[in-house]
A and B are shown apart, each in its own frame.
Chain A
Amino acid sequence: MQIRVERLRVRYENFELRVDNLHFSANRVSALVGPNGAGKSTLLKALSGVIKPVAGSIFVDGRELSRLRGSERARLVSYVPQEHSTALNFRVFDFILMGRSGYLNIFSPPARADYEKTEEVISYLGLEALAARKCQELSSGERRIVLIARALAQDSKIILLDEPTTFLDLKHEMEIINLLRKLAEDRGKTIITSVHSIDLIPRLADFLVMIKNGQILSAGPTTEIFRAELLGTLFDYPLRVVEADGRQLILR
């Protein structure tokens, strides 16, 4: 499933983001990078339909996102925030089950099919040991995985993630990177994620979108635009990209 953005203008609090033209292909991992406050999260929120654009359109497989009903949208696009609110201390299983809400009528609780989908996601991610625990008992790495599990239960072709690896230790960071690749390659998901540490990008993303001051600085295949000059301009800091073991590495 692909996403096309046309002449988009989004306002969030006092910030405005403009995207003239952007295209995300299906079955790819795309990364959004840029300095803090550049508009990565705003773009993700717009793509997820959580905030409505002031002008312009987002098309998901040709259907305009803002015209879809909430439940229809939820079946196409899921959104993984950095943290979930933990007002109520749900069991992990019930929390993941909430991903099924877009398939349910307002007065109906989840049915057998929803439980089955949730169980399938839990076994796919190997979360059996967590399922009976309470959300507030989880470590931050476990919480991120559980949030991704909820998005998988949502069973949408497109998954948007807001800096899914920030504050995680190295092992959990790599687990999530590998999982996102696997979801794109094996399960045909279209992944769009904002990324805080640019070192991860060559491992993670096929496609790269550089955002600065609410505008797209550059967008293209990672192999083409992951260049020292562009990254330096993006972050206002001179950087070098070197190759070692066939991989691109960033030197600060």
Chain B
Amino acid sequence: MTGSKRKNKNKAILYIAILFPLLLLLFSLCLGTLRVSLKEVLEILLARISGWPSDLLTTPAANIILNIRLPRVLLALLAGAAFSVSGASLQSLFRNPLVNEYILGVSFGAGFGGAASLVLFSRNFPPQVLAFACGLLAVVLVLVISEGARNTLVAVLLTGIIVSALFQALLSTLEFIASPYALQALFFWLLGSFSQATWPDLAWSAPLILVGLVFLLKLGWRINVLSLSDDEARSLGLAVKRERILIICLATLVTSAVVAIAGIIGWVGLIVPHAVRGLVGSDNRLVLPVSAGLGASLMLLADDLIRTLLPFEFPVGILTSLVGIPFFLYLISRARTSWS
């Protein structure tokens, strides 16, 4: 393919990646037990955004759209984008397509943090804080323990499993001591679901996710250079250690901010970047934004399917694991030939 053709193709993919989630958002707001037409949805949204008093806003449809469906749909979009961008960034940083927030222990670390916050402080304190702290603690543990190993990938994968197991054990301890009421909330939240999304939750998480994503997207070029060997990146003028830490912190931040309110939803950050690299190549200036758009869309589609096809609330986290784990095994079987 010639240079200009490729550029045009990539531009088209980028526009689709930006537009598609927005269209999907509108479509998803129509879905549900109460059917609302697209026209009505648009009118309700416009009325809400413009701030003019309108009779529309007092209808039951408006209540469902604005207070139940919209936070849920937004959370699904943000979660998909967050997992995918952090997955793509971490894979480049660790020079390995198998790495993701789940493998690095971030998911269970943040999960434990969020749960501890829920049990200790109930809903009076934002769970994002402890989720981020424990997510970061988990990834630091993994990196410190696996440092200096000869085969860094195997070491990281093994320590990731061990650190995740540690946080799972801590979670079980929490479940054991939690009150029956807290336990029920904890159980459903941990399986990973957007069904409990509320505006107050989003008010904390959304800004954290958006800020983290903007910074990660702006670091796309740096992440390219950091995917070279450390010596090369250093000789090209990068402050390798500091920049790595910054990127790991940002990836942990966006992931924990989702986990804190939606629970553990794994493997999205593995599948999406892989598909995107197949589409647009390896350049993270393109891979990261396209992953954000595609990840957001896929996550929302998955949640839409669950919401409409099943008569009960099935946790989306289970669905992503059922799809993601076989995919992970497939990648492992291929990793022997490439990226090894």
Contacts and interface: CB of A to CB of B under 8 A. Distances in A.
B145 interface: no
A88 interface: yes
B48 interface: no
Interface string B232-264: 101111110001000000000000000000000
B222 interface: yes
Given A81-B231, A87-B95, A87-B96, A94 B3 contact: no
Interface in B208-237: 215, 218-222, 224-225, 227-229, 231-232, 234-237
A94 B283 contact: yes
Given A98-B228, A106-B219, A107-B218, A90 B282 contact: yes
Contacts of A72: 237
A14 interface: no
Nearest to A109: B221
A202 interface: no
A50 B236 contact: no
Contacts of B219: 106-107
B207 interface: no
Contacts of B6: 132
B134 to A, nearest CB: 28
Contacts of B176: none
A172 interface: no
Interface string A28-51: 000000000000000001001110
B339 interface: yes
A70 interface: yes
Interface in A66-104: 70-75, 77-79, 81, 84-85, 87-91, 94, 98-99, 101-102, 104
Contact of A49 (B227, B228, B229, B235): B235
B224 A88 contact: yes
Contacts of A27: none
A84 B3 CA distance: 24
Contacts of B234: 49-50, 70
Contact of B236 (A74, A91, A110, A131): A74
B28 interface: no
A183 B3 CA distance: 29
Interface in A10-32: none
A85 B232 contact: yes
A227 to B, nearest CB: 34
Contact of A88 (B222, B227, B285): B227
A154 interface: yes
B232 A74 contact: no
A102 B237 contact: yes
B179 interface: no
Contact of A99 (B2, B92, B236): B236
A91 B218 contact: no
B237 to A, nearest CB: 3
B242 to A, nearest CB: 9
A85 B228 contact: yes
A70 B227 contact: no
A81 B229 contact: yes
B281 interface: yes
Given A87-B95, A106-B222, A50 B231 contact: yes
B234 to A, nearest CB: 5
B2 A132 contact: yes
B282 A154 contact: no
A79 B228 CA distance: 13
A71 B232 contact: no
Contacts of B227: 85, 87-88
A88 B227 CA distance: 7
Interface in B1-47: 1-3, 6
A74 B225 CA distance: 13
Contact of A91 (B220, B221, B228, B283): B283
16 contacts: A50-B235, A74-B237, A81-B232, A84-B229, A84-B232, A87-B92, A88-B224, A89-B281, A102-B237, A106-B243, A109-B221, A131-B3, A132-B1, A132-B3, A132-B6, A154-B236
Interface of A: 45, 48-50, 70-75, 77-79, 81, 84-85, 87-91, 94, 98-99, 101-102, 104, 106-110, 131-132, 134, 154
Given A74-B237, A101-B221, A134-B281, 14 more contacts: A70-B237, A70-B239, A75-B237, A78-B235, A78-B236, A79-B231, A84-B229, A87-B228, A88-B277, A90-B283, A102-B236, A104-B221, A109-B285, A131-B3
